[in-house]
Each structure stands twice: as structure tokens, then as C-alpha cells.
Chain A
Amino acid sequence: MNATERAWQVLAEVPDPEVPALSVRDLGIVRDVRLRDGALEVVLTPTYSGCPATEAIERDVLKAIGDAGLGPARVTLRRAPAWSSDWISEEGRRKLHACGIAPPGKVDAAPVRVVPRIACPRCGSARTEQLSAFGATACKALHRCLACREPFEYFKPI
């Protein structure tokens, strides 16, 4: 296995600081890993403009690569194309659901006024309602289940 393949493996174990159930790879923010001038370059696309975790992610990625003996490495940010929640892997969606966060639906091209009904990740009921389009982190909304009465987070499609 070469250095870039090993780096991809290492990145599958680096958790996202705000949704630690997901690795940065599951989240789809690692866009490329390549060798440049003898050093590994990891290309990341930030999730939100103001995501406060961006710096922590860069640090964690470099540390993990260094710990695996694959350094020196550097991180570059790629803004375009903009990150989309559609880039979250199937495994990432399963992990979200397993930790009680409803995974995002597909991103619609047109802005929708109607708030979608999201199945409760705990009891599966579709009788849920949105409490707020904004949650504890930029990427999540707050919903509540009317069947089991539990609140839950919904990873926003964006």
C-alpha cells in the first residue's frame, strides 16, 4: 500500500470534532490526498463558511498523519465546488442514524418553503415536527418526535 492509500485509511479514523460519530471521510470533506514535492497534501472542503471546527479538523488531520509516520503533510482548503451534505457516505448516514441524528435528505435544487417530515431516528415514527432550523452546530436542525416525545437532531441538507 502506498502513502496516499495509507493516508486515506488513517483519515477514516479521524473523527469530526462536532459530530464525532463520523470520520472526516464519512463526512465527505476530504476531497483528495496526493503526493506533492515529496509531502502528502490533504485537500479539505469546509462544510460551512463559519464552521468553527475547520481549524481543529486541520490540526487533527495533520496529527493523525504524523502519528502514522506519513508526515510531513499539509492541508489545503478547496472551496469550490461547495461542500454538500449529499457527499456524506452511506456508512456516514448509518453512523448518524445509529447515534440518534437523522441523516440529511437529498438536497433539492429549488429552495423549499415546506419543512420536510423527518423520521424519528429513535422510534422511526414519521410524526415529527421541526423545533428550529438551527441547532447546536451549524450543520444540524432541531426536531421533535410526536410519537415517542423525544427531541432529536436532523443533519441539514445543504
Chain B
Amino acid sequence: MQASIARPEGAAALYALRIADTCLVLGQRLAEWCGHAPVLEEDIALANIALDLIGQARALYAHAGAGRLDEDQIAFLRDERDYLNPTLVELPRGDFAFTMLRNAMVATLLGELWKRLADSSDGELAAIAGKALKEARYHRRHAGDWVLRLAGGTDESRRRTEAALAELWRYAAELFESDRIEDDAAQSGVGPRWSELRAAWLAEMRALLGEAGLATPREVAFRSTGKLGRHSEHMGYLLADMQFLQRSFPGGVW
């Protein structure tokens, strides 16, 4: 069994790590659909989106590792508390409506983030963002189209979309809670505090939900804390699934 590694240090590395973890963990959840999506086209689409997200994570991990740690070590050999993704992306994949609404929420967030990071003082981060922004636009359009179709579809698809919204929305607030890592990144020009993305995110989500005829839920006091490394009970299972191969067969490749 391969022992855990300490996560990379330094504010800029942790800032990149948080984004990478967000991409990787959602990519892992989307990859679970492979072979299970309701239609073949969506099976392929979700696998494609997962691949984009994992590719984005890979580039960010390589960058955060700065030559001392490689992307596989960072992705597979950390303990749960060292993952800095928001809880939203680790929630079990749920049904298709849940997956599509979450994808719309995350693609909207990442779209805003990549847009800002394209001007990062960190040249490599800016380069990764320039590429990822184009991909996020495709993901956002795909998920948004499905939210509209499901909300305006049958009674059953609408009921499920409403249920997904009620469940997911309370995890959105955490996205815009910023901490020292983001303060440091903002000060050094590496990237924005995620709290700065809230207004644009909310405007775009309101527009989508409005078009779908869904009321934007009210904000509640609940705050999830995945961005700080304190995850939901689902994260351990996800990591066990994702890490077991590299832990059991260190360095194993296909």
C-alpha cells in the first residue's frame, strides 16, 4: 500500500490545487455515468466532459507540483483533508437531472473563473485557463440545454429537476466563501477570490432558472466546508474508489 503524500505548499499552489480538485472530483463523478447514461449520446457526452475536466486538473496538478510532485501523486496519494474542492462536486451523482443541474452550476462557476484567470500574473495558469475557458463554454451550453429540456419536459422530469435544485442549491453558498488562500492569490494577482465571482454566477444561474420556469431558491444559513478540506461523508467513498489502484499497485499504468 502506497503511503500518503503531503500536499504541495504555498498559497499559489493551494489556489491551483483547489481548482484542480474541483475539476478532478466532478470529473470522477461524471465518469461514473460511463455505461449508465440514459442514451448513448449522453454517455459519450458525459465521458467527454469528464475527460476535459480531468485534463484541466492534470495540467493544474503538474503546475502546482512544480516538478517536485507529479500529477498522479497529487491526484491519487493525498488524504481526504488535503483535497480542497467544494462539497458540491463530491455529492453522489444522483439522477440525470441532478447531474445536469450540478454541471450547469459548476460550468458557470468555472467559466467565470477561467475568464478571470486568463489574465493571471501566473503565465502557466493563464495558459491553462485560456484553453479551459473554451471547454467550459461547451459544458455550460450542454448542461443548460438539458436543464431547460428537463424542466419543460414531462411531469416526472420537472419533478426531478425541482428536487435537484432544492438539494443542490444550499451547496452553492460555499463556492463564494473565500479564505486566506484566495486572499493571497488575489493580492498577488494570481487569481480572483471566488467571492468576486458570485454576482456574475448568480445572474447567469437566475437567467437559466428563469428560462426554465424554476424559482431561484432562497439562500439558507447552511455552509458546507469542502473548500477547507472538511468534506461530506461521500468524499471518503469517492476517494477509495478513485485511489485504490494507485495505492495498491503504486505506479501502475495501463
| Interface band, chain A | 20 to 34
Binding site for B on A (CB under 8 A): 46, 48-52, 79-83, 111, 113, 131-136, 138, 142, 156, 158
Instruction: Tell me the interface secondary structure of chain B in the complex.
Output: helix
Q: Which residues of B sit under 8 angstroms from A132, Cβ to Cβ?
A: 41-42, 44-45
Q: Which residues of A sit under 8 angstroms from B130, Cβ to Cβ?
A: 79-82
Known contacts A81-B130, A82-B130, A83-B131; A48 and B44 CB within 8 A of each other: no
> A82 touching B45 by the CB < 8 A rule?
no
> A134 touching B141 by the CB < 8 A rule?
no
The reply to whether the CB of B59 lies closer than 8 angstroms to some CB of chain A is yes
Besides the contacts A50-B53, A132-B45, A136-B44, what 5 more A-B pairs have beta carbons closer than 8 Å?
Answer: A49-B132, A50-B54, A134-B45, A134-B48, A135-B44
Q: What 0/1 pattern do residues 130 to 174 of B give for CB contact below 8 A with A?
A: 111011011011100000000000000000000000000000000
Binding site for A on B (CB under 8 A): 41-42, 44-45, 48-56, 58-59, 123-124, 126-128, 130-132, 134-135, 137-138, 140-142
Q: Which residues of A sit under 8 angstroms from B132, Cβ to Cβ?
A: 49
Q: Which residues of B sit under 8 angstroms from A82, Cβ to Cβ?
A: 127, 130-131, 134
> A79 touching B128 by the CB < 8 A rule?
yes
Instruction: Tell me the interface secondary structure of chain A in the complex.
Output: loop
Please, how many angstroms separate the alpha-carbon atoms of A46 and B58 in the complex? Answer: 13
Q: What's the least CB distance linking A130 to chain B, in Å?
A: 10
Q: What's the least CB distance linking B139 to chain A, in Å?
A: 10
Q: Which residues of A sit under 8 angstroms from B51, Cβ to Cβ?
A: 48, 50, 52, 138
Q: What's the least CB distance linking B52 to chain A, in Å?
A: 5
The residue on A at minimum CB distance from B60 is: A49
> B49 touching A79 by the CB < 8 A rule?
no
> B131 touching A50 by the CB < 8 A rule?
no
Q: Which residues of A sit under 8 angstroms from B49, Cβ to Cβ?
A: 134
Please, how many angstroms separate the alpha-carbon atoms of A139 and B68 in the complex? Answer: 32
Q: What's the least CB distance linking B169 to chain A, in Å?
A: 24
